[in-house]
Amino acid sequence: MKKISFILALIIFTMSLAGCQPANLPSADTTVSDTTASESLVKIVADGESDYMVLRADRASDTEVGAAVALRKAIDEKYGIRMRIGNEIDAKPERAIIVGNVNYGGAAEIAASLGYYDYIITFSGEHLVICGGSPEATQTAVGVFIDKYLSKDSATLAVPKDLNDSYRAETLANDVTIGGESLKNFSIFVSSDAVYAEKRAAQSIRSAILETFGINVPVNDKGAAPGDCAIIIGDVKNAPSAGRDAALAACGEGQGLVYFEGTRVYITGKDTDAACRAARKFINDCLAADNVKDGVLTVPTDTLTVSTPAETYTVMSFNLLVAKESEPERFAAALTQINAADPDILGVQECSVLWYEFLCKNLGDRYGVVGELNHTSTQMWRNAIFYKKDKFELIETKTQWLSATPSVSSRLPDETQYRILTYAVLKDVKTGATFAHCNTHMTIIEEVRESQFKVLVKLLEKLDYPIVMTGDFNTREGTGYYQKITDFGLCSAHVLTSANDPAHTVSSSTIDFCFVDPAHMGVVSHEVIEETASGVEPSDHNAVVVKFRFYD
């Protein structure tokens, strides 16, 4: 549940890249409307011969090419004829089975009338047109044609001249207009150097429009200059607007803005989180059913101001360095940094018995603490979680081992340490917001890493709450291990905000992260503390401090 919203927001975008069939397209055996009662038949194949060829677009997608090849193969297998196949540039046949949005034989005009999920199988003059409003819809239409018309016990492929086999997806409206222009003429723009949260907001708007209206609005994040019909997310440098700038300047701290200027829509904010909330406002209010009249949704073009919640949460991740405990000045330096950050929640790694006793003594008046020892041997440390007692109620906590038997003290083969995940389910006593804060320290041993990260994800999957996770992950951003966490649905806080401190958490790398659930949380700031405390470095790791807000 914790990652469903995030996955749903991206699934249509993923399918458009991978060439998969969207879930709301009918399968090839779905009954669709057709008019086949006419006695006037057109013979596509007869007596082992055909004067038709398969014709596809010159720049057909892999999905469309695959559909055209599948059709030719099916005809060959059924009728023993290897039909010619070509594209619109190389061939201008008198008769063709046109597959997809081809600029020939009237197919392009037919395709223009289709929504993203729609398809049609019909004649245009002498040409049989099989096309959809998207490559995936065309692929499905070819499957329907093969199943319904090639499966009959006959040596002749003949179809009615007035054939109209079609599928029209149900949509909230037949069209959407902004400033009098159809959304079909729009593109979504985001800066090429935008943070991930802004690019994700652009894809969320695209997905919402696609799912609700069947209109495929492309996203441009390559630095192209927006035209007149554009939805612009964040600071796109070649899309200036004095009106937008003035409206944003009038906003208060943490506010976002949906600003209309003719057929341009500017979605921005005082910070990245505020801009992303404005994108949600655009989806929920501007694309709402209440704005539909006579089959057309007209987007209201009044400026929308979006405020963020007053309640923010500061979380800190700190590897304390269990070694060199003979240096007492490090304890005071660490405490100085913790007090300066004043985190609502603190996740510490390598928290030895001495560190634990020190922190409990100096933080215990303000913070509750959870976390079991990893083992009762010489490796005696915790991934402890400290939380402000006046802000949170502790609902549940558990320490689990990153091994084949997580419920008991254990380790994976070849692992030298007892690695653990500690979590605390916390409820804000004022707002009721409830989430799980997880804290861990992953292995440095390459042979163990794959298995250990798999165990970690399985443990996270059992938590039915939004998740914040801190830790020393001993892996860098972009690695396959890091990807396992992002595939689960969490994002490192630093990619979700432009207020990001890119400093390293260890000498020349970043291996300490604070991950959040982007479906439930927006990040305000991300900071890496590089400064010493009175000239003393408290650890060989720099602490990470993140401020975030919950979505409604």
Contacts of the segment 405-410: beta carbons below 8 A, 24+ positions apart:
406/455, 406/459, 409/374, 409/375, 409/376
Domains 14-167 and 173-306 share a fold: yes
Instruction: Provide the 3-class DSSP secondary structure of residue 437.
Output: strand
pLDDT at residue number 508: 85
Residues 238-278 have pLDDT tens digits of 999 999 999 999 999 999 999 999 999 999 999 999 999 99
Per-residue pLDDT at 1 exceeds 90: no
| CA separation for the pair 205, 225 (Å, rounded) | 19
Give residue 323's pLDDT band: very low, low, confident or very high (50, 70, 90).
low
Give residue 27's pLDDT band: very low, low, confident or very high (50, 70, 90).
low
Residues 176-194 have pLDDT tens digits of 999 999 999 999 999 999 9
| β-pairing verdict for 187-190 and 219-220 | parallel
Cβ–Cβ < 8 Å for 129, 54: no
Q: What are phi and psi of 495, to 5 degrees?
A: -90, 0
Per-residue pLDDT at 543 exceeds 70: yes
Task: Show the tokens assigned to 94.
Answer: 């008198």
Q: Which CATH number fits domain 14-167: 3.30.379.10, 1.20.1250.20, 3.60.40.10, 3.30.70.330?
A: 3.30.379.10
User: In the chain, what are the domain boundaries?
Assistant: 14-167, 173-306, 313-550
Instruction: Provide the 3-class DSSP secondary structure of residue 551.
Output: coil
pLDDT at residue number 2: 43
Mean pLDDT over residues 346-350, rounded? 97
| CA separation for the pair 255, 269 (Å, rounded) | 6
C-alpha separations of 320 from 53, 331, 369, 522 in Å: 71, 9, 16, 27
Query: Does domain 173-306 match CATH 3.30.470.10?
Result: no
pLDDT at residue number 189: 97
Q: Which helix (H) or strand (E) holds 84?
A: none
Q: Over pLDDT 90: what percentage of the chain?
A: 85
Residues 424-449 have pLDDT tens digits of 999 999 999 999 999 999 999 999 99
pLDDT at residue number 325: 63
| Residues pairing with 427 in the sheet | 393, 434
Mean pLDDT over residues 103-115, rounded? 92
DSSP 118-180: -EEEEEETTEEEEEESSHHHHHHHHHHHHHHHSSSS-S-EEEETT-EEEE----S-SEEEETT
Mean pLDDT over residues 292-298, rounded? 96
Residue for token pair 């046109």 = 98
Residues 133-178 have pLDDT tens digits of 999 999 999 999 999 999 767 889 999 999 999 999 999 998 999 9
| CA separation for the pair 368, 25 (Å, rounded) | 52
CATH code of the domain occupying 313-550? 3.60.10.10
Cβ–Cβ < 8 Å for 117, 22: yes
Instruction: Kindly calculate the radius of gyration of the chain based on its CA atoms and give it in whole angstroms.
Output: 29
